[in-house]
Structure 1
Amino acid sequence: MNSVKKDLTFKLGNEIEINRLGYGGMQLTGFGVFGEVADRDNAKKVLQAALASGVNFIDTAEAYGPQFNESLIADALFPYNKDLIIATKGGFVRPGPNKWVPNGDPEFIRQNIEGSLDRLKTDTIDLWQLHRIDPKIPVDETLAPVVDAVKTGKIKFVGLSEVTIEQIELAEKVLPIVSVQNLYNLGNRQWENIVDYTAEREMAFIPWFPLASGPDKLAEKITKIAEKHKATTAQIALAWLLKRSSNILLIPGTKSIAHLQENMKAAEIELSEEEFAELSK
């Protein structure tokens, strides 16, 4: 597996330069990603600390809460820094904690977009992502309101989540796709082909669950390398992802400022080719 020289920025849509180490807002919600976050004041401080630490890419979704997370981000950060990019998603119904039901109905998608604009207090969503493709509805129908929103300037860029190459290509017949957000981390590399495919296409690849360090057989390797770098295992897992491909944008989430700052230090870790190869086995 190849590695790359570490550049810590990426041009989204070949246009907007963002720092590759961003922040994911999903944990700033109640149990099961449902309801309001327990300590709202702390959550706002974490978001503000993320920006102070150099984050200019924040990932959220209509489904986080649902809706509470987007409102929280606006509450904490509005008026926004000029260079801040906020990515959100639509296409999931949330009947309860840890319950996620794809809904690609065009009217539901349109409502998601309008709701996100309202909650985020913005006229334009920088990056809107389809949270899941609904198998019951043709993707061109699901994406029709997204096409309209792009035309009217309500959405700048469009991404997809948890998709195959075939699904990306199907969506691209409807409108340009600049990013893909699939499950991927050091311990779970089922989407290796998507990482390479998006890199070739100069699309962003945004791994969700980036901090999972995987099976126990990896633990010993990571611990050994972490000790050498005077780093935590989480920092090594993030450093590996940064080195894996230059189109990878990281969105580790946390409710703790100390943990946030620890994650940000991962950008300073330069794994050797040997260490990268060892971890990649």
Structure 2
Amino acid sequence: MNEPDLAALFGAAGVTGWLHATDLRSGREIGLGSDVPLPTASMFKVPLMVEFCRQADAGLLDPASRVTVGAADRVTGPTGLCAMLDDVTISLRDLGHLMITLSDNTAADVLLARVGREEINAMLDGFGLRETRVRQSCRDIYESMAEDAGHSWPYLDPEDIARLRVLDPPRANSATPRETAALFGLIWRDQAASAESCAWMRNVLNLQVWPHRLASGFPYDDVEVSGKTGTLPTLRNEAGVVEYPDGGQYAVAVFTRSLSTALNQPRADAVIGTAARMAVDHLRR
């Protein structure tokens, strides 16, 4: 498999794609546009989770401490606390669980306010992940889209898309495929935080509910797929780790941009899994 094969695969699905995959045991890699800075959408919640765990490890916050999330805290989104009507009292740790497993935007923003963007970016710098930046909260994302387009998502046309700051890497939450895969590698190697915290992060990432992207490429009972999706207009991403029963572990990050502004694009979702499987199969050979 080579870059033209991957590019043709993405093109047949109506998207432009970027990918990086790493064998976490041997260090072998394969990629397409591995070092291109791209908007991450909800995948920014992964570095947020890492910094949350590091602060808990350092005693800077208590993950079991409780906060009450009310109407003023609620952010646009279809899942979790975003969809609730009443106040919810919940621990910081369970906010982290919801923001990963359900991609709960409200949970993410409450946690982000506690952890801090500058702290996340300083942590990323410490790991040498200098193209990975957290600049926007979920509220910022939705408010900026409404400002830029003059109306709310999902009703956007191509002219609206061209104005969206959330799709412009220097102004948005962003990363490269290589750095995204590297961050997952740090979690799987117990290097992102304490061994206990990394084990918790791996478990939460394994419980993500969305099966239609990365996991769709590995429909086997004995293969574990853990990950985090990201979605914005024309943008579909997912990154995670694929684990085989022989002990093989592969960090994979796939980013896509579609020509169409349609919300439902099953081919664009499915190609993420197909491309990831092609990359992992190549590394396993």
TM over 0.5: no
TM-score normalised by the chain length of structure 1: 0.30
Return the structure number with greater helix share: 2
TM-score normalised by the chain length of structure 2: 0.30
Return the structure number with greater strand share: 2
Which of structures 1 and 2 has the larger relative contact order (alpha carbons within 8 angstroms, sep 6+)?
2
